[in-house]
Amino acid sequence: MVDGRLEAFSDGVFAVAITLLSIDLVVAGPGHGTTLAHQLREAWPNFAAFLVSFFVVGIIWVNHHSLFKNFAKVDRTLLFLNLLLLLFVVTIPFVTSTLAKYLTDNSRSASLAAVLYSGVSLAMSVSFALLFNWSVRDPSRLRNPVPSEQLKRIRFRFVGVGTSVYVVALIVGIFSAPVCLAVNALIAAYYCFEQTPPLTRTMPGPDVVPEE
């Protein structure tokens, strides 16, 4: 079983990151010359960016949990790869806030904000791919190793698709921040249905509890 401290630390980072996303969800309140409905309409970029990023962080957490529950051991390389992933996870609130502020601004700053947002998402995806590749390079690292004949297909579905589309989102961000956010939303929707690699059950070892 993977060291519980690793998962507990990671879960704490995910929890902080997903909570920080809500900081920009504010309205001015009464006495500012506009109705609440108007203020909510004006704040739609904040809500849109929050919603996309909430699901991005949430899906990362779900897949992180699914991947790590199959790890048979922890080594120094895994710890640093996990830290690399968490580095980009905790950056998501910053780039989300920045993108929300410039989402409707037709300027080079809006393009830069979109590129930053997609760049962090791409880096997060690459770091997740590194974690996955670390796990499949040595069968002893997994409680239930991925069959070699399925590895290429699984790597494409679980790693290749997301990383490739994040590259597309980054390029799109140069030209349109709103479309860039929409592409990131499509990636989040894809991973709502695409699960971590289906793993073949093996004969249980001493530390493996058979499924009911």
Q: What is the pLDDT of residues 77-127, one digit of tens each?
A: 999 999 999 999 999 999 999 999 999 988 899 999 999 999 999 999 899
Under-50 pLDDT residues of the chain: 1, 198-212
CA separation for the pair 178, 195 (Å, rounded): 27
Q: Name the residue ranges covered by the structural domains of the chain.
A: 4-24+37-193
* pTM score, whole prediction: 0.82
Place of tokens 């997994």: 142
Q: What are the residues facing 142 on neighbouring strands?
A: 71
What is the DSSP secondary-structure string of 91-138?
A: THHHHHHHHHHHTT--SHHHHHHHHHHHHHHHHHHHHHHHHHHHHHHS
pLDDT of the residue at 201: 40
